Structure 1
Amino acid sequence: MSGAADTGDGTSAAEDGTTVVGLRGVTKEYAGGVTALRGVDLTVREGELLAIVGPSGSGKSTLLHIVGTLDRPTAGTVHIAGHDVAALNDRRLSALRAQHVGFVFQAFHLVPGVSARDNVAEGLLYSGLPRSVRRRKAAEALDRVGLADRLHHKPHQLSGGQKQRVAIARAVVGEPALLLADEPTGALDSASGAAVMELLRDLNREGATIAVITHDTEIAGSLPREVRIRDGEVVADVRNPSSAPSSVPSSVPSMAAGAEL
């Protein structure tokens, strides 16, 4: 019931330059006869803001790993940012992940004793950019998330909400085609969580493509698109009319087209 991989005009979703994620018939099985995903179809287009929502054990974490290229499916096809994941060896897959996918996790994963700026600059470690350029871009990313005055603060000097903002800055500093936010408010109080969600909406309005993986139905219902997953299957893919639609400024360049890896 999710977005079909066929665009209706004779081209596949993977060939459509506006498609960031194209999954078709994706199944994931583990040893012992456990099937985590069952024939999932999902298309995410550039500039979308969506929730992938489901209870514990529904398969949403497995779906995150597949979309984030952290794992490969047992069956089906996966296209990320114009690339067929099955056609990439491990080295090129790592390059795809580094160039096109940003991750935000519930646990922040910041390096202790390292400044906010250098934590963010770590997101560009494999970019080939000089250290001075990485640190400049990190400072710009922190300004973008409202932490221009926290460049030199270390994680223990930041609140939970500020730590998550640093993690988001690290995820977007390389301008990935896709930002995957896995339970981004799970470790935060309600006020900090609301602020982080508003930041994600702001980034989306600036052109970022964002998928929020959550078990929180309230968060899911507040986003423009809601993909519900249960027992490894997409059981609903709906637009939420009460949510303001995401918009992509015409000045934002396309980030979905595949680059040479």
Structure 2
Amino acid sequence: MIVLEEVTRTYPGGVTALDAVSLAVDPGELVAIVGPSGSGKSTMLHVLGTLDRPTSGRVRIDGYDVGALKDAELSALRASRIGFVFQHFHLAAGTSALDNVADGLLYSGLRAGERRRRAGAVLERVGLGHRLDHEPHELSGGERQRVAIARAVAGDPSLLLADEPTGALDSVSGDGVLTLLRELNASGTTVVVITHDREIADALPRQVRMRDGRVIADETRYGSPVAGVAR
């Protein structure tokens, strides 16, 4: 699903956010990418999500060589293959949960009625079938994150990237979101969670640790740790 080969991302001023990172994630994996502020996690998210191109190295997402794609092709790849979940939800105020999710399918080519039907089905799937008409201010933090996850997976992406998905939640709501991500993964979605929280990372099957733009450890709970290298 994901292959990074010696990927480096350098910004003006000589700041190297990713430093010769190699990483492979198989279809159907549930992976945490963990590290402190400044470790390169955010740049990794942008590269994995094709929001940013590396300065050097090669990136393949779901079989596509990102470096060979034009901007319009990258947009199509994101729309059809990648779902994003962010810490602060990014839901439209004054818009129902149903329409927040349906609007995420605007560029899918589906008619409005089909977009709303799919939105209702995926909200039911995440346990919010009874909250379709509620606006974000009427929902709890955990419910808002579930709406955001529903929006991210409504198009049935192969890859779900979750950036600090529990960071704005209390522990009970956060546990519920992690349970939902595990359920989505069990249904076949590849899930990558970007987090600074070691406790969250420790709860997931595979943990990739970053520091100073490098992968310093790659560990699987049910296998031998692989330190300092990608699988």
TM-score, with structure 1 as normaliser? 0.84
Determine the structure 2 residue equivalent to 1:32.
Answer: 13
Alpha-carbon deviation of 1:206? 1.1
Identity %: 65
Note if 1:72 corresponds to 2:53: yes
Q: Deviations over 1:144-195 (max 9, x none)?
A: 1000001111101100000000000000000101000000000001110011
1:204 pairs with one of 156, 163, 185: 185
Question: Which amino acid in structure 2 is aligned with residue 213 of structure 1?
Answer: I
What CA distance in whole angstroms lies between the structure 1 residues aligned with 2:201 and 2:134? 32
Determine the structure 2 residue equivalent to 1:10.
Answer: none
What CA distance in whole angstroms lies between the structure 1 residues aligned with 2:222 and 2:27? 20
Classify the secondary structure of the residue corresponding to 1:126. Answer: helix
Alpha-carbon deviation of 1:208? 1.1
Note if 1:224 corresponds to 2:197: no
Q: Deviations over 1:100-157 (max 9, x none)?
A: 1100000100000001011001221100000000000000100110000011111011
Classify the secondary structure of the residue corresponding to 1:219. Answer: helix
Determine the structure 2 residue equivalent to 1:105.
Answer: 86
Runs of 4+ more than 4 Å apart: none
Question: Which amino acid in structure 2 is aligned with residue 61 of structure 1?
Answer: S
Determine the structure 2 residue equivalent to 1:166.
Answer: 147
Classify the secondary structure of the residue corresponding to 2:104. Answer: helix
What CA distance in whole angstroms lies between the structure 1 residues aligned with 2:85 and 2:171? 18
1:54 pairs with one of 23, 32, 35: 35
Classify the secondary structure of the residue corresponding to 1:204. Answer: helix
Query: Which runs of structure 2 are paired with 1:102-141 in the superposition (5 Å)?
Result: 102-141=83-122
2:23 pairs with one of 42, 60, 71: 42
1:178 pairs with one of 159, 165, 168: 159
Note if 1:83 corresponds to 2:67: no
Alpha-carbon deviation of 1:44? 1.0
Classify the secondary structure of the residue corresponding to 1:143. Answer: helix
Note if 1:153 corresponds to 2:134: yes
Alpha-carbon deviation of 1:241? 3.2
1:235 pairs with one of 195, 201, 216: 216
What CA distance in whole angstroms lies between the structure 2 residues aligned with 1:134 and 1:219? 33
Question: Which amino acid in structure 2 is aligned with residue 32 of structure 1?
Answer: G
- Unmatched segments (≥5 aa) in structure 1: 1-19, 243-261
* Alignment: residue pair count: 223
What CA distance in whole angstroms lies between the structure 2 residues aligned with 1:80 and 1:185? 25
Alignment RMSD: 0.9
Question: Which amino acid in structure 1 is aligned with residue 39 of structure 2?
Answer: S
- Unmatched segments (≥5 aa) in structure 2: 224-231
Query: Which runs of structure 2 are paired with 1:238-253 in the superposition (5 Å)?
Result: 238-241=219-222
TM-score, with structure 2 as normaliser? 0.95
Question: Which amino acid in structure 2 is aligned with residue 89 of structure 1?
Answer: K
